[in-house]
Amino acid sequence: MVDISFKNRYLYVDVGARSYGSSIGSWFRKQYPKQNKTFHVYAIEADKTFHKEYGMKKGLTLIPYAAWVKNETLAFEIHRDPGEHVEVKGRGMGRIQPLQTTGKQFDGEVEKIQGFDFANWLKNTVSKNDFVVMKMDVEGTEFDLIPRLFETGAICLIDEIFLECHYNRWQRCCPGQRSSKYEKTYDQCLELFNSLRQSGILVHQWF
């Protein structure tokens, strides 16, 4: 167990938080080894469906925008299986895309959302004297965000990362058919994990 007692602040940054119970309430606050330290939580979630439930949570700051490589308006593509009945808490996973590239071979729901420069936000929010744990589940955008963290040096502010990497595994498409949701390969995911580990970042694969 690494000694974190000398750090000034203790922070959990959930990038792609979805609902409170998705990882913050069900995993981080119950199971992460906090060494009796109080962690402040930043929940970064662009989908407004989940925003209301964060309002009464203590020790938590909601960032109601999409983590991105710069400040700009984005398209939020909501993926669902054909014929799926949609309830408020059952929205499909969302993927963000620049507006000029959206709509290509995509039949789901598209909303406009505001993206922000996540690396710049991190550099303005935390310091090297803070202990920062980050979970990132952003439906493929990790291949944009992680290089940006390296480019800006913001990666050095993160002590531990739980990262879900999205690759071109098969998913159900239509009756009797399958399609690939993501363009990246599993080898590219391994390269992403290796780049983090070779830079001294403690990273775990999140599922």
Q: Who contacts 31 (Cβ-Cβ below 8 Å, separation ≥6)?
A: none
pLDDT confidence of residue 101: 60
The residues pairing with 68 across neighbouring beta strands, listed in sequence order, are 117
The rounded distance, in Å, linking the Cα atoms of 205 and 193 is: 8
The rounded distance, in Å, linking the Cα atoms of 117 and 71 is: 5
Q: Per-residue pLDDT tens for 105-129?
A: 555 678 889 999 999 999 999 999 9
Q: At what angle do helices 118-125 and 142-152 cross, to 10 degrees?
A: 50
Residue type, 10: Y
DSSP string, 96-150: EEEGGGTTTT--SEEEEEEEEEHHHHHHHH--TTSEEEEEE--TTTHHHHHHHHH
User: Could you give the domains of the chain?
Assistant: 10-68+117-205 (3.40.50)
Q: Per-residue pLDDT tens for 19-67?
A: 999 999 999 999 999 999 999 999 999 999 999 999 889 999 999 999 9
pLDDT confidence of residue 182: 67
Q: Who contacts 93 (Cβ-Cβ below 8 Å, separation ≥6)?
A: 78, 79, 139
pLDDT confidence of residue 4: 94
